[in-house]
Amino acid sequence: MMWVAWLSGWGMGLSSAGHCFAMCGPIAMSLPFKKADGTTNWWTYSLYHLGRISTYLLIGLLIAALGLLTNVHKLGSFLSILSGMLLLLMAWNYTQHRNTFNNIKWQLPAKWASAVWSKTFKSKNPFGYLAAGAVNGLLPCGMVYAAATAALGS
């Protein structure tokens, strides 16, 4: 049965690659990873992506811990139904209220991320790139949260 979860994860990852490229690609391309001589600063580039990947890892660990906790307390069926309902609600909200949802609900996280990024890139502190990457991992992404919700149900 575990192979179904692995196969689903791989399928979601492959099918969402275009979405990720289109949504986060422009963000990644606009970040200042160039040195004065025009070459890429691989140290800050690596720190940024380490921060981003660490955030995704932390989200996964939290979901796994919650899943283990619910398994111990025999709440798996309830969470499976709840996660399915949340996925349906996300899909309905996206298709029916796309402009309202995007313009109102996500303004605060986007402003917060923008403020962190602005301070980081102005300060030129290399470890600030780690924080900027971590903040990028917290930006609202339907694919990340759909995968986490589906994982919680499994």
| pLDDT at position 96 | 66
Q: Cβ neighbours of residue 96 under 8 Å, at least 6 residues apart?
A: none
Q: To the nearest whole percent, how much of the chain has pLDDT over 70?
A: 82
Q: To the nearest whole percent, how much of the chain has pLDDT over 90?
A: 5
The Cα–Cα gap between 70 and 66 comes to 6
Report pLDDT digits (tens) over 97-122. 555 545 555 566 667 777 777 777 77
The end-to-end CA distance of the chain, in Å, is: 10
What is the C-alpha R_g of the chain? 18
Q: What is the 3-state secondary structure (H, E, C) of the chain?
A: CHHHHHHHHHHHHHHCHHHHHHHHHHHHHHCCCECCCCCECHHHHHHHHHHHHHHHHHHHHHHHHHHHHHHHCCCHHHHHHHHHHHHHHHHHHHHHCHHHHHHHHCHHHHHHHHHHHHHHHHHCCCCHHHHHHHHHHHCCCHHHHHHHHHHHHC
Higher pLDDT, 54 or 73: 54
The Cα–Cα gap between 75 and 78 comes to 5
Residue 86 token pair: 């949340």
To the question of pTM greater than 0.85 for the whole model, the response is no
